[in-house]
């Protein structure tokens, strides 16, 4: 409950959730329209990208079509082709040990990182107007890795957490969105890093450790699907990741978040780029509903 006089510091956590993360844009649009500005942002996976766009001053207003990507071919560089699959099949058929021939992910991630570098520049964190925290997971040690800027003073963030302040923003986002099995892990400082959502999909605790008075989370949650929509290995991996993360996210938000905003978007695939405007609209709807409570909590 808000106490005292004057605006309280506000931390906003943006969860992972693949393309459904476009809902974060709608929520941030509404907050801006009502004069509500986060003092800290922490993001995981797609939340790291949207959080970075906001923290570096990108304008989300205007026609949602400007925020669309032409298609997944523009940003996804598959880690195999017909020839490599055939070759892999022969090796598996004739050799007893198959581990060294299996890819570490279906998508290399180089195209996405190139796109991120074009957007943010080679550094990016230095352009942040507010403290930004991006999460990733060390697939070998299980540690949470948090990327941020050296411009800001940071407090400890709990056990099994490593903080890096000298990694570029594009690299940090590329690590945070690396869904296990889909993206090849991002190598940084000798670590093999995967999606931040594996360890911390709604990083409200990071905001708590940094001293935010009021903490809100946009939790995209578990996206239930129709039976006929789970039709590929990619969808199986995405659903598995979401299911495993949700219970931990619920526990974390119940402990650290003053307000949880849930867009409730379901039945959406990794390649449903045409649904991005719909997700933004859903984000706006739940954002409008959250404004009165946010203003009460922030004393504004």
**Catalytic machinery residues:** 45, 195
| Cβ within 8 Å of residue 76, ≥6 positions away | 107, 111, 112
Cα dihedral 72, 73, 78, 80 sign: positive
Q: Which of 45, 297, 53, 256 is nearest to 157 (CA)?
A: 256
Instruction: Give the residue ranges of DSSP H helices in 153-275.
Output: 169-176, 197-200, 204-209, 233-256
- Concatenate the DSSP letters of all residues of 108-141 into one string: --HHHHHHHHHHH-S--GGG-SS-EEEEEEETTT
**C-alpha 48: how far from chain center:** 4
CA 6 to chain centre: 31
Q: Is residue 146 within 8 Å of 157, Cβ to Cβ? A: yes
Note every long-range contact of 191-195, with CB atoms under 8 Å and residues 24 or more positions apart, other chains counting: 191/138, 191/140, 191/141, 191/145, 192/138, 192/139, 192/140, 193/136, 193/137, 193/138, 193/139, 193/145, 194/136, 194/137, 194/139, 195/16, 195/44, 195/45, 195/136, 195/137, 195/241
CA angle 17–294–290, rounded 5-degree value: 55
d(CA 200, CA 249): 7
């Amino acid at each position: 409950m808000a106490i005292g006089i004057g605006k309280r510091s506000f931390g906003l956590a943006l969860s992972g959730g693949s393309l459904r993360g476009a809902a974060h844009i709608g929520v941030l649009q509404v907050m801006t329209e009502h004069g509500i500005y986060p003092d800290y942002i922490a993001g995981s996976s797609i939340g790291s990208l949207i959080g970075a766009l906001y923290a570096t001053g990108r304008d989300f207003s205007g026609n949602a079509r400007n925020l669309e990507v032409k298609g997944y071919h523009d940003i996804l560089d598959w880690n195999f082709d017909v020839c490599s699959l055939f070759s892999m099949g022969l090796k598996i058929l004739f050799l007893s040990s198959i581990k060294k021939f299996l890819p570490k992910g279906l998508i290399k991630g180089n195209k996405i990182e190139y796109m991120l570098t074009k957007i943010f520049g080679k550094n990016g964190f230095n352009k942040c107007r507010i403290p930004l925290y991006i999460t990733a997971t060390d697939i070998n040690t299980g540690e949470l890795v948090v990327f941020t800027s050296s411009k800001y003073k940071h407090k400890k963030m709990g056990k099994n957490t490593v903080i890096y302040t000298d990694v570029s923003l594009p690299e940090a986002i590329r690590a945070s969105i690396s869904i296990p099995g889909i993206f090849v892990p991002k190598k940084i400082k000798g670590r093999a890093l995967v999606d931040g959502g594996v360890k911390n999909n709604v990083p409200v605790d990071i905001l708590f450790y940094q001293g935010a008075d009021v903490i809100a989370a946009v939790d995209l949650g578990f996206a239930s699907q129709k039976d006929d929509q789970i039709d590929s290995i990619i969808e199986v991996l995405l659903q598995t990741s979401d299911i495993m993360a949700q219970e931990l996210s619920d526990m974390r938000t119940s402990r650290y978040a003053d307000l949880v905003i849930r867009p409730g978007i379901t039945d959406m695939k990794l390649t449903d780029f045409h649904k991005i405007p719909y997700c933004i609209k859903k984000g706006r709807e739940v954002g409008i509903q959250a404004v009165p409570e946010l203003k009460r909590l922030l004393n504004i």
